[in-house]
Amino acid sequence: MPPRGLPLDSRCLLTLVCFVAFAVQGLGGGAEGSAVGVPVTDLQDSYPPRHAIFKYYPPEEGTKSRQYPHGKAQEYQRRTYRDGYIVDVHERNTEEARERERLASNVHNTVRKAAEVHRRVRKYALDELIKPGVKLIDMCESLENATRTYLEADARGPYAGVKAGIGFPTGCSINHVAAHYTPNPGDKTVLEYDDVMKLDFGTHVDGYIVDSAFTWAPNPKYENLLRAVRAATEAGIEAAGVDVRLCDVGEAIQEVMESYEVVIDGRTYPVKCVRNLQGHSIRPYEIHAGKSVPIVAGGDHTKMEEGEVFAIETFGTTGKGYVREVGECSHYALNQDPTGAALKRIRVAEARQLAERIKKRFSTLPWCKRYLERMPKGESRYHLYLRNLVSSGVVEAYPPLCDIKGSYVAQYEHTIILKPTGKEIVSAGDHLGMDW
């Protein structure tokens, strides 16, 4: 996904203040709340979900504070690289570091809230939605409605989703399509047993986005492909850390990924990294916040920093290992336009009005055509005006990203927080009985 801009209008002033804390203080995770978020109500979940997420986590006694489950903790490791570069950890377990985590506790509890919703929606999708024969558009809309329910994205008014709700459209890219595919209105594509589907979706609270993905492929012939990509993502998470160079994360990922091969229908394929797809840093309302995490060796020596949040994602393929934009577009986002100059240059009044409604509804979060048709005024005649906005540069279009036809691409992804004393894989967690 592309870079996203932080909204600067008055509606988002509070979020901007939080962002300053996010960037300067870092996201900590010390002692505020247990590893599973306590206290917890006896409220039982249901399918489809019927309750907002806060109802499962009542305030702590004597306070109004609700604590949400922690992700998986992972310690930093001292590392010495072949070129002599050293990453040390001697300052990662001090009182000063723990104090920095305490100062950031409210912000990263917000991230955990979005992460808990992501986990519950993933479980709902796996338990109820993903099965051969389902229409992908029905699967996506059920999944997205679950996110809206948990985060009250509809209940609090037509524009509540910009406060909390869907982080970006549900990606359900099939086989050689690696990313950026979600069904457009009228799409009748059906999921089949032999498909390799990447389910990639986001949740957010106050713009803090949690981005996680996994691959569904029930036919055991793809097992080694999935195993390779999952292991590569885990290696990337293990390699990440404060002061770690991005290039070193990419090298660790590639070493694991390309140690695998897979036999499909009697033919052996080496598993290749998709070299022009990468992980990314995340900031409030910015799904790609400027730093890219490669999945191959070489490249950027930029360092990861304390307090940053990253989506560590890898893509492995039986194809060429390189994707191109192919097919009908479904993913879009407003380009950054802090002064509004680009919007003012739009001469078609209806197109300008559409852009203003998009900004109010989504801010700089990505969206898709299906979401336009859910807008308060029902944007059923948006196609012409949307093309105008894309051609003028107000809106950026992001078509599907594809390897060669006949190949298979798998993806795994988690969101991590680089806290002062250790990593937190915030989108992971086994308290719901999930293994990813």
User: Which residues participate in catalysis according to the annotation?
Assistant: 200, 211, 280, 288, 313, 413
Contact between 394 and 342 (Cβ < 8 Å): yes
* 65, two tokens: 């504070």
Sheet bearing 324-325, strands edge to edge: 177-179, 401-402, 324-325
CB-side exposure of 29: number of CA atoms within 13 Å?
33
* 414, two tokens: 């988690």
Alpha-carbon torsion, ordered 148, 171, 169, 233, to 10 deg: 80
* 75, two tokens: 């310690």
Q: What own/partner pairs with CB < 8 Å and gap ≥ 24 does 32-39 have?
A: 32/67, 32/102, 32/105, 32/109, 33/67, 33/68, 33/70, 33/109, 34/67, 34/70, 35/69, 35/70, 35/73, 35/431, 36/69, 36/70, 36/431, 37/67, 37/68, 37/69, 37/70, 37/112, 37/116, 38/67
Phi, psi of 205 (to 5 degrees): -135, 120
H or E, element range at 202 = strand 197-205
d(CA 56, CA 45): 9
> Residue 32: helix, strand or coil by DSSP?
coil
Verify cis geometry, omega within 30 degrees of 0, for the bond prior to 39: yes
d(CA 289, CA 284): 9
